[in-house]
Amino acid sequence: MQDKKLYIETYGCQMNVADSEIVMTLMTKDGYSLTEQIDEADVILVNTCSVRENAEDRVTARLNKFKKRKKEKPEVVVGVLGCMAERLKTKFFDGNTTRKSKVRIADLVVGPDEYRKLPELVYKAWHGEKGIAVQLSRVDPDKIGVENYDDITPLRTNGLSAWITVMRGCDKFCTFCVVPFTRGRERSRPLQSILNEIENLSKQGFKEVTLLGQNVNSYSDNNYDFTDLLKKSAEVNRGMRIRFTTSHPADMSDKLIHTIAAEPNICNYIHLPVQSGSDRILTLMNRNYTSSQYLYLIENIKKIIPGVSISTDIITGFPTETEEDHRMTIELMKQVRFDGAFMFAYSPREKTKAWSMTDDVSQAEKVRRLSEIIEIQNKISYENNLTQIGKHVEVLIEGTSKRSDQQLKGRTDTNKKVIFPRNGQNVGDFVTVKIESVNSATLFGTIKD
C-alpha cells in the first residue's frame, strides 16, 4: 500500500463528474486516498472540457496555478484528463495548448476512454516517465473491447443522488460541436447492468438517479431502447426519482413521452436543446429538425405530460446568423416558454465542420444577442415560476441552503430549486412544500404539515 494523496478537479458536463467518480474508484483501489486540499496532494488530476474556448481557458489558468505547486514540490504528478486531453494530446508536453495561454506542465495526458491505464501511468510518472493515453474506444457489434466502464462502480460521495452513465460518445456531429471528436462513437451499456446498479444504489439509500448520455435517448442495447431502459429503471424502486439528460429532439419518440407521463417516479422534466429558432441555421448546424418540428414536439410533450418543465440550450452568433435569424430564436423562446435555458456565444472549435465556416458575427454582436436572450429567458422563467405560487409541490431535500442553516434546499420533480425553513426534516426526506414566493431561479415556501 502507498499512502499517496489524490486531488481531483472536474470541469465540464455531468458526464465528466461521473467519469471523475470512476477515476476515484480506480485510484483508491490502487491505494491512493482522496484529499480536498491541493497542498496535501501527491497527485493532481484535472478532468477537463473543450466545448467552448473559455472552458479551455479556465482549465489552462488552473494548470498554470499548479505550476506553483510543482515548484514547491517537484515530485507532484499533474495529469490532464478528459476532453482537452483527447483534443490537445501531446500539446500539454510541448506547450501551445490554447490560443491565449500556454501550459507545459502535464506529466500525463489521458483521454476519456483510457482511464483504466491511469494507475500505471501515474506510477510511471513517479519514475520520471511522461505518459499519454488518448485512444478512443472501438465500437464492436459483439461489444468486445468496447470501453464503457461497465464493471467499475463510481466512487460516489453524496449518498443521495447518483449519476449513471448509460451511453458514451456521440454520432450526431452537429457542426459546431467538438464532443464527437473528444468522446468518440456512441456505445451503450447493457441494460441489466444499469438496472443492477440502480438496485444497489436503492439498497444504499440513494433517492435519485440521473441517467447520463451525450444523446441519452439514442441509448440502445440489442432490442431495448431508451424508453425500455427508463421504464425498467423506474420499476426498480418507486421511491426513487429517475432523471435523464441530455435528450436530442430528433430522438424524442412518442413512446418515450408517454412513458415519462405514465411512470410516476420518472421526473417531469426534459432538457431538450434547440440551439436556434432559424431553420437556415438549424440546417447549417446539422441538427436534423426544423423549428416547426421542434415546436410540434414541445406541444406534444406539454399535452401528454401536464405540468412538465422543459429547459434548453441556445447558441448565439453561429456563422452567418443574421438579426433576422436571431429574432426567430427569440420568437421560438416566446412560443415555447422554457423553464430554463443555458445560453452561449458561438465558439469555433477545431476539427468541426463549422470551423471552416467564417466566424463572421463579431464577438460584440454575439454577446449583445446573448444578453438579449438571457434577459428574455429570465423574464419567462420568472413568469413560469409565478404560476407555482400557492401550489403544493413535492421536494426531495438535498441539503441546507447556502445563506442560512435554518433553511433547507431541494428540488421539485420538475427540477425547480426550492428553499424553505427547516422544521425537523432531514436531507433525503421527501416533503410537501407550499410555494409562497419566487424569483426567476428559485421557489420559496413552507413545509405543509
CA gap 242, 206 in Å, rounded: 11
Q: Which does 173 bind (CB under 5 to 8 A by kind): ligand SF4, ligand SAH, ligand F3S, none?
A: ligand SF4
Does residue 176 interact with ligand SAH by CB under 6 A? yes
Question: What strand order describes the sheet that includes 5-10?
Answer: 33-34, 5-10, 43-48, 77-81, 108-110, 131-133
Grid coordinates representing 81?
484528463
Does residue 347 interact with ligand SAH by CB under 6 A? yes
Instruction: Considering only residues 61 through 90, tell me which ones interact with ligand SAH, judged by CB under 6 A.
Output: none
CA gap 132, 119 in Å, rounded: 12
Q: Which does 344 bind (CB under 5 to 8 A by kind): ligand F3S, ligand SF4, ligand SAH, none?
A: ligand SAH
Mutual angle of helices 363-386 and 323-336, in 10-degree steps? 10
Does residue 172 interact with ligand SF4 by CB under 6 A? yes
Does residue 342 interact with ligand SF4 by CB under 6 A? no
Does residue 112 interact with ligand SAH by CB under 6 A? no
Contact between 147 and 188 under an 8 Å Cβ cutoff? The reply is no
* Sign of the dihedral defined by the CA atoms of residues 258, 166, 298, 335, in that order: positive
Q: Which residue is nearest to ligand F3S (CB)?
A: 12
Question: Contact with ligand SAH (CB under 6 A): which of 10, 175, 237, 275?
Answer: 275
Of the candidates 23, 19, 16, the residue with the CA atom closest to the CA atom of residue 7: 23
Question: Contact with ligand SAH (CB under 6 A): which of 344, 397, 398, 420?
Answer: 344
In the bound state with ligand SAH, the residue whose beta carbon lies nearer, of 286 and 378, is 286
Peptide bond into 10 cis (omega under 30): no
Q: How far is the CB of 304 from ligand SF4 (least distance, A)?
A: 23
Does residue 177 interact with ligand SAH by CB under 6 A? yes
Q: Give the interface size with ligand SF4 as a residue count (CB under 6 A).
A: 10
Phi and psi torsions of 126, nearest 5°: -60, -30
Phi and psi torsions of 207, nearest 5°: -110, -10
> Half-sphere exposure (CA, 13 Å, Cβ side) for 445?
27
Does residue 418 interact with ligand SAH by CB under 6 A? no
Q: Which does 180 bind (CB under 5 to 8 A by kind): ligand SAH, ligand F3S, ligand SF4, none?
A: ligand SF4
Q: Which helix (H) or strand (E) holds 300?
A: helix 291-304
Q: How far is the CB of 12 from ligand SF4 (least distance, A)?
A: 12
What residues make contact with ligand SF4 under the rule CB under 6 A? 170, 172-174, 177, 179-180, 214-215, 248
What residues make contact with ligand SAH under the rule CB under 6 A? 51-52, 176-177, 179, 214-215, 246, 248, 273, 275, 313, 315, 344, 346-347, 349
